[in-house]
Amino acid sequence: MTKLKLASIEDENPVKLTVTLSAALHRNLVAYAEILAKETGKPVEANKLIAPMLEKFIASDRGFAKARNVAKMSNAPTLSKPSITFSSPSSMKS
């Protein structure tokens, strides 16, 4: 049995995008869908693979995760440190 990175396709509220794919990429998506359908026993449309594949790619990209964490940290509000002033005994005159 083939070990595919995608196990199932989640059904969520989609955002519609229009993309242009090369013919070779489309053929690969169709082939992937056919293999996935055989493994799961459920029909799979090739166009339904794009979003989960992108999600898997982004989730596995360590460079992206690191850069995203750095961006979050730089946008996080910083706590201001209280300012403390000290007076020297010679400056304290009564």
Q: Which residue has the tokens 């995203």?
A: 68
Higher pLDDT, 66 or 79: 66
Tell me the two tokens of residue 45: 């449309």
pTM for the whole structure: 0.62
23: left (phi over 0), alpha (psi -120 to 50) or beta: alpha
94 pLDDT higher than 60: no
pLDDT per residue over 6-23, tens digit each? 777 777 787 788 999 999
